[in-house]
Amino acid sequence: MSFDKRAYWEGVLGDGTRPPATDFVGFDLIAFDVDAGWAEAAFTLPDEAKNPAGNAQGGFITAALDEIMSVAGSIVQDGPAMAPTLQMTVSFIRPVPVGTRLIGRGEVLRKGRAAIFTQGTLSLEDGTLLAQATASCIPRSLA
Amino acid sequence: MSETEKPRLSDADMLARFQGSKKRPPCSDTLGMRLVEVEQEKQRIRMEFDVSPAFANPTGAVQGGFISAMLDEAMSTCVIIASNVTMTAPTLEMKTSFLKRLMPGKAFVEARILRLGKSAAFMEAECFDPDGAMVAKATATAIPMLFKKLG
């Protein structure tokens, strides 16, 4: 097969037509590895995500993690693909600031034929862990 | 807990108090949230949301995290009301099952308290589409904390 997986995903994740949810969480791709099954991106959550305490509301943190974990679950599949999330658990370890550059990382734990298991973290640039998640998703080819 | 010291409002008055609140956090407006039912006896609330197309994933459906955001909003508000507006409860952990696609537009969330203790609160919530089909279900744990000199 002449499908260049890396080039395809560079196009989709870089300057490709981004879905609105991706823009909302300020997704900015850093690096990814289609063979090892991980992806990293920076995120900046907008003021619109603020809770009464002035930090990001948990669901918007979940949205950023879902983005990067879904990327990891998508790129490990054989061709153009998605990875719709079935279930996701998030631990909110520290308050997450809005308007600050955050580092998100998604990793595939297992790629099965019918299910993919992923995990993800959201940290400050100095490495302080803010939130951690695990998820299960299903492989869905777009080819 | 100061719960007993403060007189309880009726369900209708509690609802009116939240609907008329001028101190809504940005996340509530972002999600187009409106509290529509309060049942203090059952520690249950219902909210409706106007889900913005800004939350769509590549398929046009609402990205899961934003569904979690609505569920979190409802579960957190449920703790505030169950505590008679004496406590807030930052979420520690939350698990969401995404049962079905939700398209941008109207959505409804019902949340209830499973247990409100001194050091931990347990909540659950379900999200429904305009046809009444359940699209997601969540459970969460939180730490109840006294509001600092608030209302």
Report the largest interatomic distance among the alpha carbons of chain B, rounded to a whole angstrom. 51
Q: Do A19 and B63 touch (CB under 8 A)?
A: yes
Answer for the pair B136, B96: CB distance below 8 angstroms, yes or no.
Answer: yes
Q: Note the pLDDT tens digit of each residue in B54-64.
A: 999 989 999 99
User: What does the pLDDT read at residue A97?
Assistant: 98
User: What does the pLDDT read at residue A105?
Assistant: 98
DSSP structure string for B41-74? TTTEEEEEEEE-GGGB-TTSSBPHHHHHHHHHHH
Q: How many residues does chain A have?
A: 143
Average pLDDT (A49-57) is 95
Phi, psi of B42 (to 5 degrees): -95, 0
Q: Taking 50 as the threshold, does the pLDDT of residue B45 lie above it?
A: yes
Q: What residue type is A50 in one-letter code?
A: K
Q: Taking 90 as the threshold, does the pLDDT of residue A143 lie above it?
A: no
On chain A, the residues whose CB falls within 8 A of the CB of B53 are 20
User: What does the pLDDT read at residue B150?
Assistant: 46
Q: Note the pLDDT tens digit of each residue in B81-137.
A: 999 999 999 999 999 999 999 999 999 999 999 999 999 999 999 999 999 999 999
Burial of A131: CB neighbours in 10 Å, binned 0-12, 13-18, 19+ = buried
Q: Note the pLDDT tens digit of each residue in A4-37.
A: 888 888 888 876 678 899 999 999 999 999 999 9
Work out how many CB contacts closer than 8 A connect A with B: 117
Answer for the pair B69, A62: CB distance below 8 angstroms, yes or no.
Answer: yes
Mean pLDDT of chain B: 93
Average pLDDT (A44-62) is 96
Q: Is A50 on the interface with B (CB under 8 A)?
A: yes
Q: Is B146 on the interface with A (CB under 8 A)?
A: no
Report the alpha-carbon distance of residue B114 to residue B117 in Å, rounded: 10
On chain A, the residues whose CB falls within 8 A of the CB of B68 are 58-59, 62-63, 66, 88, 90
User: What does the pLDDT read at residue A13?
Assistant: 85
Interface test with A, best of B23, B88, B91, B101 (most A CBs within 10 A): B91
Q: Which residues touch A131 (CB under 8 Å, ≥6 apart)?
A: A61, A65, A90, A91, A92, A93, A94, A96, A121, A122
- Six-digit token string for A55: 């930090």
pLDDT above 70 coverage of chain B, percent = 95
DSSP structure string for A4-73? -HHHHHHHHHTTS---HHHHHTT-EEEEEETTTTEEEEEE---GGGB-TTSSB-HHHHHHHHHHHHHHHH
Nearest to B19 by CA among B44, B7, B36: B36
Phi, psi of A141 (to 5 degrees): -75, 140
Q: Note the pLDDT tens digit of each residue in B67-87.
A: 999 999 999 999 999 999 999
Interface test with B, best of A23, A91, A92, A93 (most B CBs within 10 A): A92
User: What does the pLDDT read at residue B28?
Assistant: 96
Q: Whole-model pTM?
A: 0.92
Distance from the A77 Cα atom to the nearest Cα atom in chain B, whole angstroms: 17
Helix (H) or strand (E) holding B78: helix B64-82
Q: Note the pLDDT tens digit of each residue in B1-37.
A: 555 578 889 999 999 999 999 889 999 999 999 999 9
Q: Do A57 and B53 touch (CB under 8 A)?
A: no
User: What does the pLDDT read at residue A20?
Assistant: 92
Q: Taking 60 as the threshold, does the pLDDT of residue A89 lie above it?
A: yes
CA distances from B81 to B37, B108, B111 (A): 11, 18, 11
Q: What residue type is B144 in one-letter code?
A: P
User: What does the pLDDT read at residue B4?
Assistant: 54
What is the interface pTM, i.e. ipTM, of the complex? 0.90
